[in-house]
Every structure is written in C-alpha cells, then in structure tokens.
Structure 1
C-alpha cells in the first residue's frame, strides 16, 4: 500500500502521462488525416487533370471539325433531289411554322439542307438559322416594310445554296422572288387568282434556271396546298385529314418539279 506521499506523487504522474499519450494520439491522428487528405487530393488532382486534358482534346477536335465544315464548299447538282422527301419535309415545316415551333422548323430546315442540298452539318445549321429567322421575321410582320426585314436572311440563305449549286442562279433575285410570293400569299385577298402560282413558278424558275411555264403544274399544286391550309385554318382548324390532303398535293407538286427540271 502506498502512503499518502506516494499517492500524491503517482496521481500527477498518471495525469501527465495520460495527457502526453492523449496529445500524441491526437497529433498522430491529425497527421494521419492530413496524409489521407493529401493522398485523396492528389488523386483528385490527377483525375481532374485527366478530365481537363480529355475535354481540351474534344474542344480542339470539335473546333477543327467546325472550321473545316464551315470553310469547305462542296458542289452539288440541285436538280437531283428526292421529291417525296422534300414534300414530306415541307409538310412538316408548314406545321411547325403555323404552330410557331421555331426550334422544330430549324431542325427540319437543317435536315432538308443536308439531305437534298448535301450541305455539311455545321453549314446546314448556319443556313437553317437564316431560313428559320426569315420565316418568323416575316410571320410577325404587319406591313410590307416589316416583311422586307426578312430579305437579308433570305439572301444569306440563297447565297449559301448558290455556293454549292452547279446551277448559276442569282441569289439576290431568288431571295426577292421568294419574299414576293410570301407577301402575295399573306395578302392573297388583294390579288387575283393565279398570282400566287405565278410567283411560285417565277421563284423556282430562277433557282433552277428553266422557263417558268415549265413549272406551272408544280406551282399550281403547291398554291392549291397553301389555299387548303389557309381556308381550313380560317374555318376552324386544319384537321389531320386536311394535312393528309395537303401532303399529297405537295408530293405531286415536287414530283412535277423534279420531272420538269430534269427533262
């Protein structure tokens, strides 16, 4: 048994030893945690570095693809197209336009440019933007001055087609004729019967460099499809049966054009 003096000595020693051991344990634990954190940080840094490098490579490759795509100018015979596919896409584009689905119209225009005019992907996106923008600038217009604000985008659209086309048409004249039939269609009550079909024939005749008279059937059928769309919309709404009729007329119209420009 320890006497009082012994017990008085042991207790402080025990407390000091315990405190020292505890302090050492805490420091060791902190050092271990710090080492663990540093190891994890090092792994994360390596992971982030790899991800950044991969992202950088992807961005560089994408930029190179876009630059190459936008600068090359492939030549195509615009008379060689699939009339049924053009008709299908035109029906879809009309539906998108009249329901104000801008993004859908943009994608459909891009598909048309790639599949029928053989545009590279990024060029088709740029040109589709101009075409879609022209359509909705015109749609929101109220006067001829408003409508003419669509002309710069139409010129950009036809200029891009002319660059790839082997048919030497005038893109500014084609754009002006395109806008003119848009206006005649919008103001159809102010025009006599046949004006819309004549304007449609004149536009296609410029693009394909053939006499307008050769495209009379194409223009008549397309104008009829437009009239059905307008009349049924005014009467309460275009039904699926109406759209099927419109689609058939457009198929007949584009088949007629295809035959006329390839004679």
Structure 2
C-alpha cells in the first residue's frame, strides 16, 4: 500500500507592509536606545543666541498662558538648541527640569525650596554628560536655585540682586569670572522685570510686550554668547 506523505507546512505569506512595519519598529527602537544611552558630547559654548531667546520668550508665554504641553515641547526644543541634547533625551531632561520647577513652585520657605536641589543636581549631571566642558554640578545647581529664590522673593531682593545671581550661575556653568557675565545678568534680569510688569497690566501682556521681551532676551543671550563662545581659528 502506497504511503501518503504529509504535505509540508507552508508559512503564511507576509505582506510587504508587515515587513515595513517590523523594520520601522526596529529602527525606532535602535534610534531611541542610542539617543538615550550613547553620549555624543558637544560644547555648551556653541549655540544660536537668537534661537535660544525666541524659545525662552515662547516658554515664558506658554507658562503664563497655562499651556503645559506646549511649554514642555518648547523646553525640550530649548535643550536641543542650547545644550545639544539628542531628540529623545531632550524630553527626559525636560521632565527633570519641569519636576524641579514644580517642586520649587510648591515651596513657601527656604527649607522647602531646598527640596528642589536633588532634582536640579540630577538635571545638571545629565547636562554634564552631554558636554565637553566640565563644571561643578553641585555648585551650578545651588546657584540655579539661588536665582530662582531671588526672583520669587521680589519683596526681599532687587532686580540688581537677580542680575548678580544670574551672572554667578553662568560663571559657574562656564567656569569663567563672574564679572564677565555682568552685562548678560543685567539684560536678562531686565527682561524678567519687563515680563513681571506687563503681566500686571489689565488684560495681561500684549503681542507688542512679548516682542519687547524677546528683544531684551536676544540682547542678553547675545551678550552671553560673546563671552563664552570659542573663537574660530
């Protein structure tokens, strides 16, 4: 009697879209993994001051207009522009910065403000890993918190105090004399004062007000860039 051999099992046909989808997911997985875990340091001295100023203006506007999702996206864009953060890592850095800001926002005393420090240190440790320039992470984090406090407690501190605190923070970040950042500190403090003043107007800040704020910030970041930039040979 003739033995009937079983027919070989046939694998189901895969449509081209299936392979494209698998390939896309694999590419995305590799991209995110490399982006998050492989460091490609750049100098934090190299940035476009005009672009940074525009992003900061937009972030202030989104913050006061209570648009948190847009603010988070703008913050990530700012981190890519100023600190050369890779695309996906810019969102993890943005989350760390946002977390620190909200811990600070809830504080009402010096002791409560200090609870912000661990998040700020974690944030600046991540910036350090992205940078070819070294700085004292703890010192920069403490000075960052200091100018936040000075700006928050305007009944206690002046805008001159704020300008000095901003200059001290940048001096620590770029490891240069604080006197070099006096103009930057004054101009950025002036932009903050203008923002504080126009928001108290009936109806809040106008489009013209935001344009004035942006011009102030362009001058501030332009001044800082002139101080820290690496001369081209």
TM-score bin (small chain): 0.7 to 0.9
Equivalent position SS for 1:77: coil
Q: How does 1:174-253 map to 2 (within 5 A)?
A: 174-236=140-202, 237-253=204-220
Instruction: Output the CA distance in 2 between the equivalents of 1:204 and 1:191.
Output: 19
Instruction: Output the CA distance in 2 between the equivalents of 1:151 and 1:171.
Output: 11
Cα distance, 1:202 vs. partner? 0.6
Q: Are 1:161 and 2:127 counterparts?
A: yes
Give the number of the structure whose alpha-carbon radius of gyration is greater: 1
Q: What's the counterpart of residue 120 of structure 1?
A: 86
Q: What's the counterpart of residue 226 of structure 2?
A: 259
Instruction: Output the CA distance in 2 between the equivalents of 1:50 and 1:92.
Output: 43
Residues 72-116 of structure 1 deviation map (CA, whole Å, 9 limit, x = unaligned): 111211111111111111111111222232211211121122233
What is the TM-score with the length of structure 1 in the denominator?
0.75
Structure 2: gaps spanning 5 or more residues:
1-11
Q: What's the counterpart of residue 6 of structure 2?
A: none
Q: What's the counterpart of residue 34 of structure 1?
A: none
Residues 149-192 of structure 1 deviation map (CA, whole Å, 9 limit, x = unaligned): 33222222211111121221112211111111011101011114
Instruction: Output the CA distance in 1 between the equivalents of 2:106 and 2:201.
Output: 22
Cα distance, 1:50 vs. partner? 7.8
Instruction: Output the CA distance in 2 between the equivalents of 1:51 and 1:85.
Output: 40
Instruction: Name the Cα RMSD after superposition.
Output: 2.2
Cα distance, 1:213 vs. partner? 0.6
Cα distance, 1:57 vs. partner? 4.4
Contact map agreement 1:151 1:175 (CA 8 A) in 2: yes
Residues 109-134 of structure 1 deviation map (CA, whole Å, 9 limit, x = unaligned): 21122233222111111111111222
Contact map agreement 1:127 1:156 (CA 8 A) in 2: no
Q: 1:98 to 1:138 in 2, by over 3 A?
A: farther
Q: What's the counterpart of residue 48 of structure 2?
A: 82
Bigger mean CA offset, 176-185 vs 145-154 = 145-154
What is the TM-score with the length of structure 2 in the denominator?
0.84
Q: How many residues of Structure 1 are paired with residues of Structure 2 in the alignment? A: 218
Cα distance, 1:58 vs. partner? 3.7
Structure 1: gaps spanning 5 or more residues:
1-44
Contact map agreement 1:177 1:202 (CA 8 A) in 2: yes
Structure number with higher helix proportion: 1
Equivalent position SS for 1:235: coil
Equivalent position SS for 2:208: helix
